[in-house]
Structure 1
Amino acid sequence: MEQETPLLNNCEASNTTHDTPDDDGIHLTAASERNEKTWRRIDHRTLLLNCLWTLLPRYLHPEGRKEYSKAKLHPTAYLDAVRGYAAVIVFFYHGWKETTLWVFRLPFIRTFILGGPGMVAVFFVISGYVLSYRMLKLIRNQESALLLDAFSSSMFRRWLRLYGSTSVATFIAACCVSLGWFIPLPDLAQPTFLAQMWNWLLSTIAFSNPFANIDGWMHPGVFFTPYLGQMWTIPIEYRGSIILFCFAISAAKLSVRSRMLYLWVVVLLCYFWRCVYIPEFLLGMFIAELSFLRHPERLGRPTLPMEENEKLSSRHSKLWQLSKAIATPIGSSIALVIGILLLGQPDPPNLGAAGPFPFQYLVHFIPPWFGDAAYTFWLSIGAFLVILALDSCTILQQPFTWGFSQYIGDLSFGIYAIHVLWIDVLYLKVLVPWQAIYLGDSYPAYIPGILVLSICMMWSADYFRRVDRLIVNLSRWLQTISFQKWQ
């Protein structure tokens, strides 16, 4: 290192310098004393630079970019990026769903700006796929002991994984409420900070009740935390996860064909009961089943899966024939286009004869008993088709395997959890008034504010991800010290 050279020179010069005692009575040469001061300045400067470097988003670090290299990707890593971009669309939806710019309301385009409700369905389908993937692998390999371990671990850690990170987000919101920066509900603010924290604690305990009655769709009386209204999806995510785990265990001993038949029976019944979030999780599991049919090498032992594939591709397996048809680039592209179109469904007040194409016609095919849950019907089917298309065609997955896409996927929970805070605290209260004074109200005038808001939101989501990883590690640590190993 370059700093080592002065140290050697000072050692050589020590024979001609006079000794000076330090505060502790230890004699140091004048050159050594100068060297110590130099290193102290270097250490302080290095420490400061390291601290500033740490504050930057991880994607700006060289090591951070290497972390997202394609060589290390799991076959289903593209789903993380899909979830990240879905969170970004929710951010656009909550910030600019009232936009009057006509181009954002065109079919297909509206999905990427106004498709927030559809992205929630995408979240649930992806969760069903990801959470069931390992269990299905163990079921197909008939590894019952490891399956029990996986089931127990997933059930044990799921509550803390979801509600732990959510409580961090609501705590930040509670602090903003106490400061008067963020008032989501009129009566939420408390007279003192301690009273606000007590209110937040009681709200968090009530919100994290796993036995609470939930309907599974957004309406005025939905079960949610008053500090962050968009987190109404977390109780549904938890309930859907537990149902998925229980279904996987109940179907573990079934053959592949029987398990798929069982799955579709439950899916159809849940549509009849208008519990649409459960089919969304189970349809994700169904897509994972198809992925193992197409890629038996992912099971780690190709002999048995090849025999299963021969059985499933016989004349009795229409499902395999359909899977092969969808897996072609043309079939996947058609499914993707239809899915994106359906995910652009307007909000319930506009879901009818006055809605955009083709929903003025599709609304008549929604079962009449759905009532205020009617908007969930086509969104669930659209989310299923999009994930099915992406999983069936590796060409369509490529944009989601890029390093930046993987980074966005890593930030998905943080983007979803805190974007409303930034919209309300920074954009509406600071940037919009500044824009009105200096830039006017033309459409280009909104661009600087949107860019500043997006940078701040992404940056804070990077920090939130670090806290989220601490909670994940905490759940793993609790599992490690609590679980006992069976012989």
Structure 2
Amino acid sequence: MKSITFRGLRQLFWPRGANPSDGPQQLRPTAYLDGLRGFAAFIVYIHHHQLWAHGIEGAATLESGFGEGDKFFFACFYIVRNFFSGGHMAVSVFFVISGYVLSVKPLSLIHAGEHLKLFDNLASALFRRWFRLYIPIIVTTFVYIMSWHLFGIWTAQTEAKGTVGEEIWNWYVEFKNFSFLFKEGWPWMHANSHLWSIALEMRGSVVVYMACMALARATHKARLLCLLGLAYYFLYIVDGYYCALFMAGMLQCDLDLLAKKDGYFPRWLRRLEPYKTFIYYHLFIIGMFLAGVPSRTREIADLRGSRGWYYLSFLNPQAVFDYKWFYLFFAGNMIVACIPRLPWLRRFFETRFCQFLGRISYALYLVHGPIIGTLGDRLYYAAGWPRASFGKPDPIAHWANLLPLPMNGPMGLELAFLLPNLILLPLTLWTADFVTRMVDEPTVRFAAWLYKRVQRDGEEEQKPVALVPLTRVD
């Protein structure tokens, strides 16, 4: 009995992987997108840890242009900066991938002329999407806020309420507003401020489903033009950059599907086929450069003063409030489009490590912030990184310089930053894997089960009662 219990607990907290004797697992055609999503989530992890450890001044430096203020740091150099402060680039990649993946099945049905199946697919996808995105948020944020009161954990991210009841009520009010699709203003939850992009993910998903339905009977050419027009509208006419990224991902998916069919792919793109390697290498480099757009402020004048960005700054349209998203729109699209066309890069994102990151990517995005705000905050403080008190009492002042580590190394690669991550990174990956198995994957199954439960059986459905006009009785 004890042996069975031990094996069960071990499988729960540390499951065994696939048996090597089973042979290599067959990858899906879009497996590289899973790996790219996972690696992008890892970039977000690095970005937030860099900003937290280096404090307000260091964060401003990391997000400034190379050489700005006569500061020439390796971590701020063109393209290299994407691996230190590329979190916003990663979000743009998320949205393009989502636009692509969410539209694969609907567009395939549209191409096949299966409009009834298309309706069933979109109905199922739209029904399940809210549960898929928000149930893991409900679970992780609730556990996090309860830890403040049950275990007395103090965090610098937000102040705990006086009582558990007040905390739960505040969490409920924030979440219900956060999860409302048509909420005005910026979606925000103090329990985990990194979740703002999930609310935009939900909005973009709905836009994709609506576009699939609206363009279901359009010709191939008309549909491509409409998607291009929607992307232009969301980017240049209104400030809807995230919707533009979703539309661009859907456009890429449509082009990829059309490329497999004779006579439907645009001829002018076919003519570029002999030069595709040259084109995609250059597009990838351009995309990586644009992905490193300085984002210390939202003032276009500051971008104009950055080396290499003066002329590019004049391209920013009037509609975009935060200029970085205009350049990240093109960066995210170029990166996603180029990866499957560059074999060595595609193979990298199909490796086991990237596929593992892809499987836990959503949970990694959800849990890395709370871990930074609790254990990460204390380890960086103990390693010698200064903390901004904002004139308030510091409840964890006793952690200061407990184990000061050398600040040797270039910015972003200091020993005092790398050594704490020998603890933080494995812990975060394990926690993300645990949340994936215990919350994320069951959520997917629950949403599918619930949709089946609410469906009507056509054979058992009662026929509507015919309305007979009343006759007047004198």
Match of 2:125 in 1: 154
**Counterpart mapping for 1:381-460 below 5 A:** 381-434=330-383, 436-442=401-407, 443-460=414-431
Match of 2:12 in 1: 54
Is the 8 Å Cα contact of residues 97 and 336 (structure 2) preserved in structure 1? yes
Give the percent of matched residue pairs that are identical in Structure 1 and Structure 2.
26
Q: What value does the CA root-mean-square deviation take over the aligned residues?
A: 2.3
Is the 8 Å Cα contact of residues 190 and 196 (structure 1) preserved in structure 2? yes
Q: Which moved more, 1:88-97 or 1:390-399?
A: 390-399
**Counterpart mapping for 1:109-258 below 5 A:** 109-178=80-149, 179-186=152-159, 189-214=160-185, 222-258=186-222
Q: Secondary structure at the match of 1:109?
A: coil
Is the 8 Å Cα contact of residues 284 and 384 (structure 1) preserved in structure 2? yes
Q: Secondary structure at the match of 1:54?
A: helix
Q: Compared with structure 1, are the counterparts of its residues 185 and 50 closer, same or farther at alpha carbon in structure 2 (3 Å cutoff)? A: closer
CA drift of 1:66 comes to 8.4
Given candidates 272, 285, 294, the residue that maps to 1:337 is 285
Is the 8 Å Cα contact of residues 353 and 361 (structure 1) preserved in structure 2? no
Given candidates 240, 251, 276, the residue that maps to 1:275 is 240
| CA distance in structure 1 between the aligned counterparts of 2:31 and 2:196, rounded to whole angstroms | 26
Q: Compared with structure 1, are the counterparts of its residues 212 and 449 closer, same or farther at alpha carbon in structure 2 (3 Å cutoff)? A: same
Match of 1:30 in 2: none
| CA distance in structure 2 between the aligned counterparts of 1:292 and 1:201, rounded to whole angstroms | 43
| CA distance in structure 1 between the aligned counterparts of 2:303 and 2:447, rounded to whole angstroms | 49
Given candidates 354, 359, 373, the residue that maps to 2:309 is 359
| CA distance in structure 2 between the aligned counterparts of 1:113 and 1:129, rounded to whole angstroms | 26
Q: Compared with structure 1, are the counterparts of its residues 273 and 353 closer, same or farther at alpha carbon in structure 2 (3 Å cutoff)? A: closer
Q: Compared with structure 1, are the counterparts of its residues 399 and 445 closer, same or farther at alpha carbon in structure 2 (3 Å cutoff)? A: same
Match of 2:3 in 1: 45
Q: Compared with structure 1, are the counterparts of its residues 353 and 413 closer, same or farther at alpha carbon in structure 2 (3 Å cutoff)? A: closer
| CA distance in structure 2 between the aligned counterparts of 1:65 and 1:118, rounded to whole angstroms | 35
CA drift of 1:278 comes to 1.0
| CA distance in structure 2 between the aligned counterparts of 1:206 and 1:269, rounded to whole angstroms | 27
Deviations 1:241-299 (A, max 9, x none): 101100111111112111101111111122221211111001001111121133x2xxx
| CA distance in structure 2 between the aligned counterparts of 1:51 and 1:341, rounded to whole angstroms | 47
Q: Which amino acid aligns with 2:204?
A: G
| CA distance in structure 1 between the aligned counterparts of 2:377 and 2:194, rounded to whole angstroms | 18
Q: Which amino acid aligns with 1:93?
A: H
| CA distance in structure 1 between the aligned counterparts of 2:19 and 2:36, rounded to whole angstroms | 20
Is the 8 Å Cα contact of residues 93 and 333 (structure 2) preserved in structure 1? yes
Q: Which moved more, 1:86-95 or 1:339-348?
A: 339-348
The structure where helix makes up a greater share of residues is 1
Q: Secondary structure at the match of 2:402?
A: helix
Q: Secondary structure at the match of 1:429?
A: helix
| CA distance in structure 1 between the aligned counterparts of 2:38 and 2:21, rounded to whole angstroms | 19
| CA distance in structure 1 between the aligned counterparts of 2:130 and 2:106, rounded to whole angstroms | 18
Q: Compared with structure 1, are the counterparts of its residues 62 and 275 closer, same or farther at alpha carbon in structure 2 (3 Å cutoff)? A: closer
CA drift of 1:78 comes to 1.0
What's the TM-score once normalised by structure 2's chain length? 0.82
Match of 1:90 in 2: 44
How many residues align? The count is: 414
Is the 8 Å Cα contact of residues 414 and 461 (structure 1) preserved in structure 2? yes
Match of 2:68 in 1: none
Match of 1:262 in 2: 226
| CA distance in structure 2 between the aligned counterparts of 1:185 and 1:213, rounded to whole angstroms | 23
Greater Cα radius of gyration, structure 1 or 2 = 1
Q: Which amino acid aligns with 2:318?
A: P
| CA distance in structure 1 between the aligned counterparts of 2:436 and 2:19, rounded to whole angstroms | 13
Q: Which amino acid aligns with 1:293?
A: L
Q: Secondary structure at the match of 2:78?
A: coil
What's the TM-score once normalised by structure 1's chain length? 0.79
CA drift of 1:339 comes to 1.1
| CA distance in structure 2 between the aligned counterparts of 1:356 and 1:91, rounded to whole angstroms | 26
Is the 8 Å Cα contact of residues 173 and 182 (structure 1) preserved in structure 2? no
Deviations 1:331-369 (A, max 9, x none): 222211111111111214286357654334322221234
Is the 8 Å Cα contact of residues 231 and 417 (structure 1) preserved in structure 2? yes
| CA distance in structure 2 between the aligned counterparts of 1:407 and 1:104, rounded to whole angstroms | 27
Deviations 1:36-76 (A, max 9, x none): xxxxxxx41343144224312x5xx2327789x76422101
Is the 8 Å Cα contact of residues 174 and 188 (structure 2) preserved in structure 1? no
Q: Which amino acid aligns with 1:261?
A: L
Q: Compared with structure 1, are the counterparts of its residues 167 and 345 closer, same or farther at alpha carbon in structure 2 (3 Å cutoff)? A: same
Given candidates 6, 24, 33, the residue that maps to 1:79 is 33
Q: Which moved more, 1:235-244 or 1:93-102?
A: 93-102
Deviations 1:168-188 (A, max 9, x none): 2211221234334224234xx
Is the 8 Å Cα contact of residues 291 and 392 (structure 1) preserved in structure 2? no
Matched, 1:377 2:342: no
Q: Which amino acid aligns with 2:13?
A: L
Q: Which amino acid aligns with 1:401?
A: E
Matched, 1:286 2:286: no
CA drift of 1:159 comes to 0.9
